[in-house]
Amino acid sequence: MNKNQESFIHTFFKLESSAGIVLLLSAVLAFVCANTPLQSYYALFLDIPVEIRIGDFEIAKPLLLWINDGLMALFFFFITLELKKEILDGELADKRNIILPALGAIGGMIIPALIYAFFNATDPIAMKGWAVPAVTSLPFSLAILSLLGNRVPTGIKVFLTSLAIFTDIGAIILIGLLYTASISVFSLVVVALCIFILAWLNKRNPEAKSPYILMGIVMWVAMLKSGVHATLAGVILALFIPMVSKVNPNCSPLKSIANDMHCVVAFFVLPIFAFTNAGINFSGIGLDYVLHDVPRGIALGLFVGKQIGIFGICWLAVQCKLTELPKGMSWKTLYGTSALGGIGFTMSLFVGSLAFEETGVDITFDERLGIILGSVASGLVGYMVLRSCLPAVQITETTACTAGGSTEEMEDIDTCRTGVVREMSIKERFGEI
């Protein structure tokens, strides 16, 4: 890979590291609005009715649900495009690079869910939230990683990004299957018809993007009316976007759409979602709220479960020789990266809103407390572990030779202390982050 051919995942990292700051500011603003005299205006803003009507057909929802059902469909469309691109022509084109983050994602979903179930198995309402600690917030985890600057090897960035994407796509599939309302057969037939047309479009491979966009909108509306969560439409649509146009081999509809959506998702979709979902009102919240089994199960699932699940299954896979650690990653840095996988924030808030928004009972807990506690603890531990074992300056082949040591000698030094041998520095490869 030369300097003129930066991989998609490298560009994505640079964007997410800065977008994480915007995301954090959006969450802080939500806290301020929810705990000051602005609280009433904040609540009114979330409940603004938004209606689309065409003849007798109408969709009427409060603004909050439009954001959770609509904007998040764009987010899942984007990350599925990203994953597809990386598998076909990127860091994950080598199938050996897929195994470790995919297994880590599985372990990072199962163990947190089991920990949550341990605390809440006897409460059927609480068990609706079992998937809340099973997800990872990619923007926030990359933002924390970016605080370490040029000491972070490329392999760690690729692993964390792939891990989060696999986890989030797995979560949205579970959401689509499990968090369903009453099923509309007619709407599901329309969804199936849309999928058939998308498959036909993919085979014909037109250069224009508009047919895909039109089918995506129709499928999203049908999915919304079907009872299956509408965000699943974004995942399905992305699977049918062609990588290369048959009309113009130099044109990639997938890359073009993904590039167009970068800033929209990073600086609009996710910050808006964080602002509308992270506003916890702390008035009246006592110790009983914090120690309730739901927030406790979520916090421990994110903080303890993610570390055990991700690190444990990756360690087992390497010991069984199913795969190997990415270049530049040691067991210590894998542990620190596993801890960063426990930053649930945006994704956990999203799953929590689906799990508990229509329980029909007077809920005596707030799952967002557990999300915040678990995410903050995971971020702090992950940052401290990585900071303690990554070098202050990324060591490269050039600096190794300048210091008088051969490249072969440098390879024998613990990668936790030396970083990536034979790699260009992050600054050289990516520029300033």
All residue ranges of the chain with pLDDT < 50 are: 1-2, 4-5, 359-362, 394-433
Q: Read off the tokens for 278.
A: 């992270």
Q: What is the pLDDT of residue 425?
A: 36
**CA–CA distance, 84 with 248 (Å, rounded to integer):** 20
CB-side exposure of 253: number of CA atoms within 13 Å? 23
Q: Read off the tokens for 230.
A: 């509408």
Q: What is the pLDDT of residue 245?
A: 80
DSSP annotation of 150 reads G
Instruction: Determine if the pTM surpasses 0.85.
Output: no
**CA–CA distance, 191 with 202 (Å, rounded to integer):** 16
Q: What is the pLDDT of residue 388?
A: 92
Q: What is the pLDDT of residue 252?
A: 84
Residue-wise pLDDT tens digits, 57-79: 888 889 988 998 889 899 889 98
DSSP helix/strand/coil, 61: strand
Q: What is the pLDDT of residue 102?
A: 93
Q: What is the pLDDT of residue 431?
A: 39
**CA–CA distance, 16 with 111 (Å, rounded to integer):** 27
Fold for 8-390, please state it.
Na+/H+ antiporter like fold (1.20.1530)
What are the residue ranges spanned by the domains of the chain? 8-390, 393-433
Q: What is the pLDDT of residue 360?
A: 46
Residue-wise pLDDT tens digits, 150-162: 788 888 888 998 8
